[in-house]
Amino acid sequence: MLTGARLGEVRQSRFEQFNLEHMSWSKPPTMTKQRRAHRVPISDETAAIVRQRLLLVPKGSPWLFPGDTPGQPVQEVRRFWAQVQKQCGLQDVRIHDLRHTFASLLVSGGASLEMIGKLLGHSQMQTTLRYAHLMDSPLRAGVDAVASAFRPKPRLIHDADDQGGRKTA
pLDDT > 80? residue 163: no
Lowest mean pLDDT among 4-8, 130-134, 145-149: 130-134
Asked if 48 and 105 sit in the same domain, the reply is no
Read off the pLDDT of residues 48-89 as tens digits, 9 standing for 90 and up: 999 999 999 999 999 999 998 888 999 989 899 999 999 999
28, β-bridge pairs: none
Half-sphere CA count of 91, side-chain side, radius 13 A: 0
Give the domain extent around 42: 1-76
Cβ contact 4:70 at 8 Å:
no
Task: State whether 131 and 71 are in the same domain.
Answer: no
**Are 101 and 127 in a shared domain?**
yes
Please count the structural domains in the chain.
2
Which range, of 74-83, 89-98, 118-127, averages the lowest pLDDT?
118-127
Each residue of 65-76: pLDDT tens digit? 999 888 899 998
Q: What is the mean pLDDT of residues 85-107?
A: 89
For residues 4 and 96, is the Cβ–Cβ distance under 8 A? no
> Is 81 a member of any domain?
no
